[in-house]
Amino acid sequence: MSKPQDRVVSKRPDGQWANQRNDAARASSVHETQRAAIDAARGNLRNQGGGEVTIQGRDGKFRDKDTIAPGNDSFPPRG
């Protein structure tokens, strides 16, 4: 279950990459590269006590999800 502080990284129509909170209407920050937007989202979550970053690919499909400690990973790695 997503929390309000969780983040989504997605491509905007202007070609920039947005770092946006789940409960926000506007992006928290906008970046030239996907990597910069992901790094910003991870930094925001570390400062807010953890959560999840959902990453959208160039094709618009969600391609990855990353839990930032002390967030709750619903599918932790095994082994």
Amino acid 8: pLDDT: 96
pLDDT higher than threshold 80 for residue 73: no
What is the Cα–Cα distance from 10 to 62, expressed in whole angstroms? Answer: 9
**Coil/strand/helix, residue 54:** strand
pLDDT higher than threshold 70 for residue 1: no
pLDDT 10s digits, 17-43: 999 999 999 999 999 999 999 999 999
**What is the model's pTM?**
0.83
More confident residue, 79 or 5: 5
